[in-house]
Amino acid sequence: MKIFSRLRTRCGHLNLKDTLRNNVGVRYFSSEFKLWSQRIFSGIQPTGNLHLGNYFGAVQRWVELQDSGKDVIYSIVDLHSITLPQDPEELRSNILKVAATLIACGINPEKSILFQQSKVRQHTELCWILGCRTTMPRLAHLPQFKEKSSALKDVPLGLYVYPVLQCADILLYRATEVPVGEDQVQHLQLAQHLARNFNNQYGAVFPIPKALVGDSHTSRLRSLRDPLKKMSKSEPDPRSRINLTDTSDSILEKCKKAVTDFTSALTFNPEERPGVSNLITIHSLLSGKSPQEICNECASLDTGRYKLVLAEVIEEKLKPIREETVRLMADPVYLKTVLEKGSEKASLIAEETLLDVKNRVGLIAL
Protein backbone atom coordinates (compact mmCIF):
# COMPACT_ATOMS: atom_id res chain seq x y z
CA MET A 1 0.00 0.00 0.00
CA LYS A 2 2.84 2.31 0.91
CA ILE A 3 4.46 1.70 -2.48
CA PHE A 4 1.24 2.53 -4.34
CA SER A 5 0.69 5.74 -2.46
CA ARG A 6 4.26 6.77 -3.39
CA LEU A 7 3.58 5.85 -7.00
CA ARG A 8 0.33 7.78 -6.99
CA THR A 9 2.12 10.86 -5.71
CA ARG A 10 4.69 10.60 -8.49
CA CYS A 11 2.09 9.92 -11.19
CA GLY A 12 0.22 13.10 -10.28
CA HIS A 13 -2.96 13.36 -12.33
CA LEU A 14 -2.29 10.19 -14.37
CA ASN A 15 -4.47 7.15 -13.86
CA LEU A 16 -2.07 4.71 -12.24
CA LYS A 17 -3.49 1.51 -13.78
CA ASP A 18 -3.48 2.94 -17.31
CA THR A 19 -0.02 4.30 -16.81
CA LEU A 20 1.32 0.91 -15.82
CA ARG A 21 -0.57 -0.94 -18.58
CA ASN A 22 0.29 1.31 -21.51
CA ASN A 23 3.62 1.24 -23.22
CA VAL A 24 3.46 4.98 -23.72
CA GLY A 25 4.33 7.77 -21.32
CA VAL A 26 5.69 7.51 -17.82
CA ARG A 27 5.58 3.89 -16.83
CA TYR A 28 8.91 2.31 -16.04
CA PHE A 29 9.72 1.93 -12.39
CA SER A 30 13.01 0.75 -11.06
CA SER A 31 13.83 -0.97 -7.82
CA GLU A 32 13.75 2.49 -6.22
CA PHE A 33 10.06 2.79 -7.26
CA LYS A 34 10.85 5.83 -9.32
CA LEU A 35 8.85 6.31 -12.51
CA TRP A 36 10.89 7.09 -15.58
CA SER A 37 9.92 8.53 -18.95
CA GLN A 38 10.12 5.82 -21.57
CA ARG A 39 13.14 6.49 -23.70
CA ILE A 40 14.79 4.39 -26.40
CA PHE A 41 18.52 4.72 -27.09
CA SER A 42 20.78 2.80 -29.42
CA GLY A 43 24.00 3.26 -31.37
CA ILE A 44 25.87 2.03 -34.41
CA GLN A 45 29.54 2.30 -35.35
CA PRO A 46 30.58 4.07 -38.55
CA THR A 47 33.17 1.41 -39.34
CA GLY A 48 31.95 0.45 -42.80
CA ASN A 49 28.76 -0.23 -44.67
CA LEU A 50 25.70 -1.30 -42.73
CA HIS A 51 24.77 -4.89 -43.54
CA LEU A 52 21.72 -7.14 -43.30
CA GLY A 53 22.74 -8.20 -39.76
CA ASN A 54 22.67 -4.57 -38.59
CA TYR A 55 19.35 -4.08 -40.36
CA PHE A 56 17.48 -7.06 -38.92
CA GLY A 57 19.28 -7.04 -35.55
CA ALA A 58 18.76 -3.34 -34.88
CA VAL A 59 17.82 -0.77 -37.53
CA GLN A 60 14.48 -2.27 -38.60
CA ARG A 61 13.30 -2.10 -34.97
CA TRP A 62 14.75 1.40 -34.56
CA VAL A 63 12.44 2.49 -37.37
CA GLU A 64 9.38 0.77 -35.86
CA LEU A 65 10.08 2.26 -32.42
CA GLN A 66 9.80 5.77 -33.82
CA ASP A 67 6.03 5.28 -33.76
CA SER A 68 5.91 3.85 -30.23
CA GLY A 69 5.14 7.21 -28.65
CA LYS A 70 8.39 7.06 -26.68
CA ASP A 71 11.39 9.38 -26.98
CA VAL A 72 13.79 7.89 -29.50
CA ILE A 73 17.53 8.67 -29.71
CA TYR A 74 20.03 7.06 -32.10
CA SER A 75 23.74 7.75 -32.19
CA ILE A 76 26.49 7.21 -34.74
CA VAL A 77 29.12 6.14 -32.24
CA ASP A 78 32.31 7.42 -33.84
CA LEU A 79 34.27 7.39 -30.55
CA HIS A 80 33.69 3.65 -30.33
CA SER A 81 34.92 3.19 -33.87
CA ILE A 82 38.35 4.72 -33.14
CA THR A 83 39.09 2.03 -30.54
CA LEU A 84 40.56 0.27 -33.59
CA PRO A 85 42.62 2.11 -36.24
CA GLN A 86 40.57 4.09 -38.80
CA ASP A 87 41.61 5.99 -41.89
CA PRO A 88 40.54 9.65 -41.21
CA GLU A 89 39.07 10.24 -44.68
CA GLU A 90 37.21 6.96 -44.62
CA LEU A 91 35.87 7.64 -41.12
CA ARG A 92 34.68 11.13 -42.11
CA SER A 93 32.87 9.71 -45.12
CA ASN A 94 31.49 6.70 -43.19
CA ILE A 95 29.86 8.94 -40.57
CA LEU A 96 27.84 10.64 -43.31
CA LYS A 97 27.21 7.37 -45.11
CA VAL A 98 25.81 5.73 -41.98
CA ALA A 99 23.57 8.78 -41.45
CA ALA A 100 22.40 8.55 -45.08
CA THR A 101 21.77 4.80 -44.86
CA LEU A 102 19.84 5.10 -41.59
CA ILE A 103 17.63 7.81 -43.08
CA ALA A 104 17.19 5.70 -46.24
CA CYS A 105 16.08 2.79 -44.03
CA GLY A 106 13.38 4.98 -42.49
CA ILE A 107 14.98 6.83 -39.56
CA ASN A 108 13.14 10.13 -39.63
CA PRO A 109 15.06 13.04 -38.03
CA GLU A 110 11.71 14.67 -37.26
CA LYS A 111 10.66 11.69 -35.17
CA SER A 112 13.95 10.72 -33.58
CA ILE A 113 17.15 12.39 -32.49
CA LEU A 114 19.96 11.22 -34.78
CA PHE A 115 23.40 12.47 -33.78
CA GLN A 116 27.15 11.96 -33.88
CA GLN A 117 28.45 10.78 -30.51
CA SER A 118 31.71 12.80 -30.47
CA LYS A 119 29.71 16.06 -30.84
CA VAL A 120 28.24 15.54 -27.37
CA ARG A 121 31.20 15.82 -25.00
CA GLN A 122 29.20 14.56 -22.00
CA HIS A 123 29.61 10.95 -23.25
CA THR A 124 33.31 10.92 -22.43
CA GLU A 125 32.83 12.74 -19.13
CA LEU A 126 30.25 10.25 -17.90
CA CYS A 127 32.44 7.43 -19.23
CA TRP A 128 35.21 8.59 -16.88
CA ILE A 129 32.90 8.75 -13.87
CA LEU A 130 31.48 5.29 -14.62
CA GLY A 131 34.96 3.95 -15.36
CA CYS A 132 35.93 4.83 -11.79
CA ARG A 133 33.20 2.43 -10.65
CA THR A 134 34.04 -0.45 -13.01
CA THR A 135 36.50 -3.19 -12.15
CA MET A 136 39.12 -4.47 -14.58
CA PRO A 137 38.16 -8.18 -14.27
CA ARG A 138 34.57 -7.31 -15.23
CA LEU A 139 35.76 -5.68 -18.46
CA ALA A 140 38.34 -8.36 -19.24
CA HIS A 141 35.63 -11.06 -19.21
CA LEU A 142 33.39 -9.42 -21.80
CA PRO A 143 33.25 -11.63 -24.93
CA GLN A 144 33.49 -8.79 -27.48
CA PHE A 145 36.70 -7.53 -25.83
CA LYS A 146 38.16 -11.04 -25.75
CA GLU A 147 37.30 -11.59 -29.42
CA LYS A 148 38.65 -8.24 -30.66
CA SER A 149 41.76 -8.15 -28.48
CA SER A 150 42.77 -11.75 -29.22
CA ALA A 151 43.88 -10.72 -32.71
CA LEU A 152 46.02 -7.81 -31.43
CA LYS A 153 49.57 -7.75 -30.11
CA ASP A 154 49.14 -4.43 -28.29
CA VAL A 155 45.63 -3.89 -26.97
CA PRO A 156 44.55 -0.21 -26.92
CA LEU A 157 43.13 1.05 -23.64
CA GLY A 158 40.13 2.39 -25.58
CA LEU A 159 39.15 -1.12 -26.62
CA TYR A 160 39.19 -2.16 -22.98
CA VAL A 161 37.10 0.82 -21.87
CA TYR A 162 34.74 0.50 -24.87
CA PRO A 163 31.88 -1.11 -22.86
CA VAL A 164 32.03 1.66 -20.23
CA LEU A 165 31.61 4.29 -22.96
CA GLN A 166 28.65 2.29 -24.24
CA CYS A 167 27.14 2.33 -20.73
CA ALA A 168 27.71 6.09 -20.61
CA ASP A 169 25.85 6.46 -23.95
CA ILE A 170 22.84 4.66 -22.53
CA LEU A 171 22.77 6.12 -19.03
CA LEU A 172 23.42 9.68 -20.20
CA TYR A 173 19.95 9.70 -21.78
CA ARG A 174 18.40 7.72 -18.91
CA ALA A 175 17.31 5.23 -21.54
CA THR A 176 14.79 2.62 -20.42
CA GLU A 177 15.08 0.39 -23.52
CA VAL A 178 17.96 -0.37 -25.85
CA PRO A 179 17.23 -2.19 -29.15
CA VAL A 180 20.30 -4.24 -30.10
CA GLY A 181 21.42 -7.55 -31.60
CA GLU A 182 22.40 -10.47 -29.41
CA ASP A 183 26.12 -9.61 -29.43
CA GLN A 184 25.43 -6.53 -27.27
CA VAL A 185 23.60 -8.24 -24.42
CA GLN A 186 26.65 -8.48 -22.10
CA HIS A 187 27.30 -4.76 -22.58
CA LEU A 188 23.71 -4.09 -21.58
CA GLN A 189 24.20 -6.21 -18.47
CA LEU A 190 27.16 -4.02 -17.55
CA ALA A 191 24.98 -0.91 -18.02
CA GLN A 192 22.36 -2.44 -15.71
CA HIS A 193 25.02 -3.25 -13.14
CA LEU A 194 26.50 0.26 -13.25
CA ALA A 195 23.06 1.89 -13.03
CA ARG A 196 22.16 -0.20 -9.96
CA ASN A 197 25.56 0.34 -8.41
CA PHE A 198 25.35 4.13 -8.89
CA ASN A 199 21.73 4.27 -7.67
CA ASN A 200 22.59 2.27 -4.56
CA GLN A 201 25.10 4.88 -3.50
CA TYR A 202 23.53 8.12 -4.74
CA GLY A 203 19.75 7.52 -5.05
CA ALA A 204 17.54 6.99 -8.11
CA VAL A 205 19.66 8.64 -10.81
CA PHE A 206 19.31 6.10 -13.63
CA PRO A 207 16.57 3.75 -14.78
CA ILE A 208 17.77 0.17 -15.26
CA PRO A 209 17.97 -0.09 -19.06
CA LYS A 210 16.41 -3.13 -20.70
CA ALA A 211 17.85 -4.78 -23.82
CA LEU A 212 15.30 -5.17 -26.62
CA VAL A 213 16.63 -8.19 -28.49
CA GLY A 214 14.71 -9.86 -31.32
CA ASP A 215 14.17 -13.60 -31.68
CA SER A 216 17.08 -15.98 -32.17
CA HIS A 217 17.01 -15.46 -35.97
CA THR A 218 16.91 -11.66 -36.23
CA SER A 219 19.26 -11.05 -33.32
CA ARG A 220 22.19 -12.90 -34.91
CA LEU A 221 22.50 -13.19 -38.69
CA ARG A 222 25.44 -15.33 -39.69
CA SER A 223 28.38 -14.78 -42.01
CA LEU A 224 27.81 -15.99 -45.58
CA ARG A 225 31.36 -17.38 -45.67
CA ASP A 226 31.44 -19.02 -42.23
CA PRO A 227 27.93 -19.63 -40.89
CA LEU A 228 29.30 -20.45 -37.46
CA LYS A 229 30.30 -16.78 -37.09
CA LYS A 230 28.04 -13.70 -37.01
CA MET A 231 27.75 -11.41 -40.03
CA SER A 232 30.11 -8.57 -39.19
CA LYS A 233 31.45 -5.28 -40.60
CA SER A 234 34.93 -6.17 -39.36
CA GLU A 235 35.18 -9.58 -41.06
CA PRO A 236 38.02 -9.19 -43.64
CA ASP A 237 36.22 -11.11 -46.42
CA PRO A 238 33.62 -8.71 -47.92
CA ARG A 239 31.73 -11.70 -49.35
CA SER A 240 30.76 -12.63 -45.76
CA ARG A 241 28.09 -9.93 -45.59
CA ILE A 242 25.44 -8.27 -47.75
CA ASN A 243 25.69 -4.52 -47.36
CA LEU A 244 22.55 -2.42 -47.55
CA THR A 245 24.12 -0.47 -50.43
CA ASP A 246 25.46 -3.45 -52.42
CA THR A 247 24.73 -3.40 -56.17
CA SER A 248 22.57 -6.15 -57.67
CA ASP A 249 25.68 -7.76 -59.23
CA SER A 250 27.44 -7.81 -55.91
CA ILE A 251 24.38 -9.29 -54.16
CA LEU A 252 24.18 -12.04 -56.80
CA GLU A 253 27.88 -12.79 -56.53
CA LYS A 254 27.78 -12.98 -52.71
CA CYS A 255 24.69 -15.23 -52.75
CA LYS A 256 26.30 -17.56 -55.28
CA LYS A 257 29.47 -17.77 -53.15
CA ALA A 258 27.61 -18.28 -49.86
CA VAL A 259 28.90 -21.37 -48.08
CA THR A 260 26.29 -24.14 -47.76
CA ASP A 261 26.95 -27.91 -47.64
CA PHE A 262 26.95 -31.01 -49.82
CA THR A 263 23.19 -31.62 -49.62
CA SER A 264 21.38 -30.04 -52.57
CA ALA A 265 17.80 -30.17 -51.22
CA LEU A 266 16.44 -27.10 -49.48
CA THR A 267 15.70 -27.81 -45.79
CA PHE A 268 15.68 -25.57 -42.73
CA ASN A 269 17.75 -26.97 -39.89
CA PRO A 270 19.94 -24.30 -38.22
CA GLU A 271 21.77 -26.88 -36.06
CA GLU A 272 22.65 -29.38 -38.77
CA ARG A 273 22.70 -27.07 -41.81
CA PRO A 274 23.70 -23.56 -40.55
CA GLY A 275 24.71 -22.21 -44.00
CA VAL A 276 21.56 -22.93 -45.99
CA SER A 277 19.37 -22.19 -42.93
CA ASN A 278 20.99 -18.75 -42.62
CA LEU A 279 20.02 -18.02 -46.25
CA ILE A 280 16.45 -19.19 -45.61
CA THR A 281 16.35 -17.01 -42.48
CA ILE A 282 17.37 -13.95 -44.52
CA HIS A 283 14.71 -14.82 -47.09
CA SER A 284 12.12 -15.27 -44.35
CA LEU A 285 12.96 -11.92 -42.74
CA LEU A 286 12.77 -10.15 -46.09
CA SER A 287 9.54 -11.76 -47.27
CA GLY A 288 7.62 -12.33 -44.04
CA LYS A 289 7.17 -15.99 -45.07
CA SER A 290 8.06 -18.76 -42.62
CA PRO A 291 11.15 -20.91 -43.33
CA GLN A 292 8.86 -23.91 -43.98
CA GLU A 293 6.75 -21.96 -46.51
CA ILE A 294 9.97 -21.01 -48.33
CA CYS A 295 11.19 -24.63 -48.36
CA ASN A 296 7.81 -25.77 -49.73
CA GLU A 297 7.72 -23.03 -52.41
CA CYS A 298 11.28 -23.76 -53.53
CA ALA A 299 11.13 -27.56 -53.14
CA SER A 300 11.97 -28.09 -56.83
CA LEU A 301 15.21 -26.04 -56.60
CA ASP A 302 18.62 -27.24 -55.54
CA THR A 303 20.61 -24.88 -53.26
CA GLY A 304 22.53 -23.46 -56.26
CA ARG A 305 19.34 -22.34 -58.04
CA TYR A 306 17.76 -21.29 -54.76
CA LYS A 307 20.62 -18.80 -54.23
CA LEU A 308 19.57 -17.02 -57.45
CA VAL A 309 15.99 -16.68 -56.15
CA LEU A 310 17.30 -15.33 -52.85
CA ALA A 311 19.50 -12.78 -54.65
CA GLU A 312 16.39 -11.41 -56.39
CA VAL A 313 14.46 -11.13 -53.11
CA ILE A 314 17.38 -9.28 -51.49
CA GLU A 315 17.76 -6.95 -54.48
CA GLU A 316 14.05 -6.09 -54.37
CA LYS A 317 14.33 -5.01 -50.72
CA LEU A 318 17.68 -3.23 -50.97
CA LYS A 319 17.25 -1.36 -54.26
CA PRO A 320 15.20 1.53 -52.76
CA ILE A 321 17.52 1.77 -49.73
CA ARG A 322 20.60 1.84 -51.99
CA GLU A 323 19.11 4.46 -54.32
CA GLU A 324 17.99 6.68 -51.45
CA THR A 325 21.41 6.40 -49.77
CA VAL A 326 23.14 7.46 -52.99
CA ARG A 327 20.72 10.39 -53.35
CA LEU A 328 21.33 11.53 -49.76
CA MET A 329 25.10 11.15 -50.04
CA ALA A 330 24.99 13.69 -52.85
CA ASP A 331 23.69 16.21 -50.30
CA PRO A 332 26.28 16.29 -47.48
CA VAL A 333 25.03 19.68 -46.28
CA TYR A 334 21.65 18.16 -45.47
CA LEU A 335 23.26 15.22 -43.67
CA LYS A 336 25.54 17.49 -41.63
CA THR A 337 22.57 19.69 -40.69
CA VAL A 338 20.59 16.67 -39.50
CA LEU A 339 23.51 15.53 -37.33
CA GLU A 340 24.14 19.02 -36.00
CA LYS A 341 20.52 19.55 -34.98
CA GLY A 342 20.51 16.06 -33.45
CA SER A 343 23.64 16.83 -31.43
CA GLU A 344 22.11 20.06 -30.13
CA LYS A 345 19.01 18.24 -28.90
CA ALA A 346 21.05 15.35 -27.46
CA SER A 347 23.39 17.78 -25.64
CA LEU A 348 20.49 19.33 -23.73
CA ILE A 349 19.42 15.98 -22.28
CA ALA A 350 23.03 14.89 -21.74
CA GLU A 351 23.94 18.05 -19.82
CA GLU A 352 20.99 17.71 -17.48
CA THR A 353 21.98 14.15 -16.57
CA LEU A 354 25.66 14.94 -16.24
CA LEU A 355 24.99 17.88 -13.92
CA ASP A 356 22.87 15.63 -11.72
CA VAL A 357 25.58 12.96 -11.71
CA LYS A 358 28.41 15.42 -10.95
CA ASN A 359 26.37 16.99 -8.22
CA ARG A 360 25.62 13.63 -6.57
CA VAL A 361 29.25 12.54 -6.80
CA GLY A 362 30.37 15.80 -5.18
CA LEU A 363 32.09 17.39 -8.14
CA ILE A 364 30.00 20.57 -7.99
CA ALA A 365 30.54 23.05 -5.17
CA LEU A 366 27.26 24.01 -3.49
Using the minimum distance from each CB to ligand TYM, give the nearer residue, 11 or 79.
Answer: 79
Which position among 178, 190, 205, 318 is part of the footprint of ligand TYM (CB under 6 A)? 178
- 233 belongs to the catalytic site: yes
CA gap 156, 294 in Å, rounded: 46
Catalytic residue among 70, 97, 230, 254: 230
Catalytic residue among 233, 257, 345, 358: 233
Site string for ligand TYM, 78-117 (x = CB under 6 A): --x-------------------------------------
Return the CA Rg of the chain.
22
Binding-residue total with ligand TYM (CB under 6 A): 26
231 is an interface residue for ligand TYM by CB under 6 A: yes
Q: Which stretch binds ligand TYM (CB under 6 A): 11-19, 135-143, 216-224, 293-301?
A: 216-224
- 336 belongs to the catalytic site: no
Helices (H), 47-172: 52-54, 60-65, 78-81, 88-105, 122-131, 136-140, 143-150, 157-172
β-pairing verdict for 35-37 and 26-29: antiparallel
Q: Which stretch binds ligand TYM (CB under 6 A): 87-95, 179-187, 257-265, 285-293?
A: 179-187
184 is an interface residue for ligand TYM by CB under 6 A: yes
Which position among 72, 107, 142, 170 is part of the footprint of ligand TYM (CB under 6 A)? 170
CA gap 114, 75 in Å, rounded: 6
166 is an interface residue for ligand TYM by CB under 6 A: yes
Name the residue among 154, 162, 155, 156 with its Cα closest to residue 134: 162
Using the minimum distance from each CB to ligand TYM, give the nearer residue, 257 or 327.
Answer: 257
β-pairing verdict for 39-44 and 35-37: unpaired
- 148 belongs to the catalytic site: yes
Burial 57-73 (b: 16+ CB within 10 A, else e): bbbbbbbebbeeebbbb
Taking the complex as a whole, how short is the minimal distance between the CB of residue 116 and ligand TYM, in angstroms? 12
Which position among 66, 142, 145, 169 is part of the footprint of ligand TYM (CB under 6 A)? 169
CA gap 358, 364 in Å, rounded: 6
Cα 185–Cα 188–Cα 194 angle in degrees, nearest 5: 150
Using the minimum distance from each CB to ligand TYM, give the nearer residue, 31 or 216.
Answer: 216
Name the residue among 276, 340, 274, 336 with its Cα closest to residue 304: 276
CA gap 16, 9 in Å, rounded: 10
Using the minimum distance from each CB to ligand TYM, give the nearer residue, 19 or 45.
Answer: 45
Using the minimum distance from each CB to ligand TYM, give the nearer residue, 11 or 282.
Answer: 282
CA gap 136, 156 in Å, rounded: 14
CA gap 234, 336 in Å, rounded: 26
Taking the complex as a whole, how short is the minimal distance between the CB of residue 149 and ligand TYM, in angstroms? 15
> 21-60: which residues touch ligand TYM (CB under 6 A)?
41-45, 53-54, 56-58
342 is an interface residue for ligand TYM by CB under 6 A: no
CA gap 102, 55 in Å, rounded: 9
Which position among 183, 351, 352, 356 is part of the footprint of ligand TYM (CB under 6 A)? 183
Catalytic positions, written as ranges: 148, 230, 233
Residues that bind ligand TYM (CB under 6 A): 41-45, 53-54, 56-58, 77, 80, 166, 169-170, 178, 180-181, 183-184, 219-221, 230-232
